[in-house]
Amino acid sequence: MSESFEDGSTENPFTGKNSNSTDDSTEAKKPVKTVHFGLIELGIFIGLWVVLAVAFKWYYVRSKKQRSKGWFGVNEEKTIYEDMLQKEPENEDGLRRALVRRCMTDVRRLIKLQEDRDSILSLSRAGAISEEALAEFKRAEKELELELFEVQAEAETFKAGWSQEIVQDAARLSKMEDELLEKKRSKERDEKRKEEDKVRMERERIKAEERSQIDEVEKKRLLEELLEEEERTSPASSGKVKKRTSVGGKK
């Protein structure tokens, strides 16, 4: 027998529970759906902004340090050439070599600017670097262009037509020099790796010897235990024990 309520539910007289309580508890146990829409996109967006912030910080610090010296700093090869031109104007061979070295530095800087141009413009469009940093980069391009014109003009004073060849000559020599430097670095890395491998192999050999010594000690101990066990369980040993017991009984 159950008691009815106005909302149509009934109460069990034995349990005292409402007949609709099961439905309520079932509804309460339904898991709440979590909406994951847009989380991946949000993570990608945050990651991109982190990358942009790091790039901005790097360019900002770089531009701040080099603002008084230009994008690349002082061209030491240019300074050497100008000093030699004032102190040793008659040293034509030395001046030619110094001018080539100066042009080699300019070529390396030109390549670096060409490599960085696309990334800097992209960061500027995204607002990741300041207008000041972008202006500094463009100023460096213009200064380098003028520097190359000056080098070509100086080359023409040594030999007619050399102004058309000095940039190509400097590019070829700088490439050869970079390749030689890379080979030297690669050789140094290989030697360092070999030395590290030698040290590692020596350590492994010492560890192997230590493990071998430990194994020998362990084998010796196990052999001694086996011999002792055989002596205790051998028939001859048992007969001796029985004989000693019987003799003791006679006494």
Handedness of CA 172, 176, 177, 178 (dihedral sign): positive
Q: Residue 19: inside a domain, yes or no?
A: no
User: Based on C-alpha coordinates, what's the Rg of the chain?
Assistant: 44
* Per-residue model confidence (pLDDT) at position 62: 58
* Per-residue model confidence (pLDDT) at position 239: 55
Q: What is the DSSP string of 7-74?
A: TS-EE-TTT--BTTHHHHHHHHTSPPPPP-TTHHHHHHHHHHHHHHHHHHHHHHHHHHHHTTT-SS--
* Per-residue model confidence (pLDDT) at position 14: 44
Give the Cα separation of 48 and 39 in Å (integer): 14
Query: Does residue 67 contact residue 53 with C-beta atoms inside 8 Å?
Result: no
User: pTM here?
Assistant: 0.53
Q: Residue 100: inside a domain, yes or no?
A: yes
Q: Residue 160: inside a domain, yes or no?
A: yes
How many other C-beta atoms can be found within 10 angstroms of the C-beta atom of residue 175?
14
Q: Residue 231: inside a domain, yes or no?
A: no
Contacts of 105 (CB under 8 A, 6+ apart): 75, 76, 77, 78
Q: Residue 140: inside a domain, yes or no?
A: yes
Query: Does residue 45 contact residue 69 with C-beta atoms inside 8 Å?
Result: no
Q: Residue 76: inside a domain, yes or no?
A: yes
Give the Cα separation of 51 and 133 in Å (integer): 17
Contacts of 109 (CB under 8 A, 6+ apart): 72, 144
What tens-digit pLDDT sequence spans the chain (251 residues)?
Answer: 444 444 455 555 444 545 454 444 444 445 544 444 467 777 787 877 777 776 666 655 555 555 545 678 888 999 999 999 999 999 999 999 999 999 999 999 999 999 999 988 888 888 888 888 888 999 999 999 999 999 999 999 999 999 999 999 999 999 999 999 999 999 999 999 989 998 988 888 888 888 888 888 888 888 888 888 777 887 655 555 445 444 445 44
Give the Cα separation of 56 and 148 in Å (integer): 29
| Plot region of 70 (φ>0 → left; ψ -120 to 50 → alpha; else → beta) | left
Give the Cα separation of 132 and 138 in Å (integer): 10
Beta strand residue intervals within the chain, DSSP E: 3-4, 10-11
Supply the range of the domain harboring residue 157.
40-164
* Per-residue model confidence (pLDDT) at position 25: 47
Q: Residue 45: inside a domain, yes or no?
A: yes
What's the total number of domains in the chain? 1
Cα angle at 45 between 44 and 48, to 5 degrees? Answer: 85
Q: Residue 47: inside a domain, yes or no?
A: yes
Query: Does residue 140 contact residue 70 with C-beta atoms inside 8 Å?
Result: yes
Query: Does residue 141 contact residue 113 with C-beta atoms inside 8 Å?
Result: yes
Contacts of 95 (CB under 8 A, 6+ apart): 81, 84, 85, 88, 89, 158
